[in-house]
Amino acid sequence: MMPSLGELRRDLIIPKPGATTAPVVPWAPGALSALGAAVAVIGAFDGVHRGHRALIDAAVADARARGMRAVAVTFDPDPDTVVAPRPAPKLTAAADRLALLAASGVDAVLVIPFTRALARLDHAAFFTDVLLACCDVRAVHVGSDFRLGRGGASTVAVMRGWCAERGIELFGHELLRSGDEVVSASNIRAHLAAGELDAASCELGRRYLLRGTVVHGRGEGAGMGFPTANIAYDPALQVPAEGVYGGIALVGGVAWPTAVNVGVPPMFAHNAASAALEANLIGFSGDIYGDAISIAFVRRLRGLVKFSTRDELVRTVLDDIDSVKRELGEDGVVLDDLGGR
């Protein structure tokens, strides 16, 4: 059956109605001084996965115990896109990453512009000139693998010593695991790239979501009995492995069960207009060219096949659509309070 509204809202990165979301504050000297003494949790937080959320929960609990405010400290752009020779595809665009952090239970999200100059700072300069210049931080929470400074020179042990001398407690938490692997953005990307949707969703703590825009395709799908929305997406985002998936598409405030094709269809690979991401929205008819669309991936159904006949392709895709209907329903669900997202 179609997932509940609550599940959809979480999958589609929509705050619950009435949920409080923290302010997202760009870095500036003294920008968070009004918060008073605070507990910081620091990271790039791509995906805001279960490991990140466990770490944030620990920081919020510590802040509450101290009677202080909790601040998630993150960077924009993601540091990896500035310093890595070949940046990894991202699980979340910056806006989604910040929205997830703002809804995580912290009292503020501090966004530090990440530049090559910032990457060159050592931990002492980062803490003094950047973090403490903005906020009265009394405790810092990071994962045990967290590193700061040029080439990641400063380990948790080094930072803990420096902080302790200044009356700041630094906690390097053991990393959350899922089975026998650490929950990490890198592992989630690898699972998605391998089509291992269950493992990716489990570590992420929700379904993977890809946002895009509906664009014109070859327009052959409608003639085949399954019109598809061709979707253009940000190439910096991680795409699940080529194949056919069942999922949920959010367009204009309605969540539709959807059959999704990821990858240029092998039968039409010669056509430059072939979309690498297209979705048949079950129960929908209408014109959505140019609209924003989000796809939450629920189940991988199969790999892409180069069928020998068009009939075979049509029969198989209609079967795919039937199996999505059985699992996710045959009609859209209106999400009435989307908060503009």
Ligand X SMILES: Nc1ncnc2c1ncn2[C@@H]1O[C@H](COP(=O)(O)OP(=O)(O)OP(=O)(O)O)[C@@H](O)[C@H]1O
Q: How far lies 225's CA from each of 61, 271, 286, 310, 311, in Å?
A: 54, 20, 15, 12, 11
Q: Which residues contact 98 (CB under 8 A, 6 or more apart)?
A: 24, 74, 76, 109, 111
Hey, which residues between 288 and 317 contact ligand FMN (CB under 6 A)?
304-305, 313, 317
Candidates 55-63, 157-165, 265-273, 288-296 — which segment interacts with ligand FMN by CB under 6 A? 265-273
Residue 162 interacting partner from ligand FMN, ligand X, none (CB closer than 5 to 8 Å by kind):
none
Does position 176 bind ligand X by CB under 6 A? yes
Alpha-carbon distance of 154 to 243, in angstroms, equals: 42
Hey, which residues between 23 and 82 contact ligand X (CB under 6 A)?
42-46, 51-52, 54-55
**Residue 99 or 183 with smaller CB distance to ligand X:** 183
Residue 265 interacting partner from ligand X, ligand FMN, none (CB closer than 5 to 8 Å by kind):
ligand FMN
Residue 182 interacting partner from ligand FMN, ligand X, none (CB closer than 5 to 8 Å by kind):
ligand X
Of positions 118, 199, 204, 244, contacts ligand FMN by CB under 6 A: 244
Alpha-carbon distance of 62 to 64, in angstroms, equals: 5
How does strand 37-42 pair with strand 136-143? parallel
What is the total count of residues that contact ligand X (CB under 6 A)?
21
Does position 258 bind ligand FMN by CB under 6 A? no
The one-letter amino acid code at 234 reads D
Give the SS3 label for residue 102: helix
What is the total count of residues that contact ligand FMN (CB under 6 A)?
24
What phi-psi label fits residue 232: left (phi over 0), alpha (psi between -120 and 50 degrees) or beta? Answer: beta
Alpha-carbon distance of 16 to 108, in angstroms, equals: 18
Alpha-carbon distance of 189 to 330, in angstroms, equals: 30
In the complex, which residues of this chain contact ligand X (CB under 6 A)?
Answer: 42-46, 51-52, 54-55, 142-143, 145-146, 173, 175-176, 182-186
Footprint of ligand FMN (CB under 6 A): 217-221, 226, 228, 230, 244, 259, 261, 265-268, 274-275, 278, 280, 304-305, 313, 317, 320
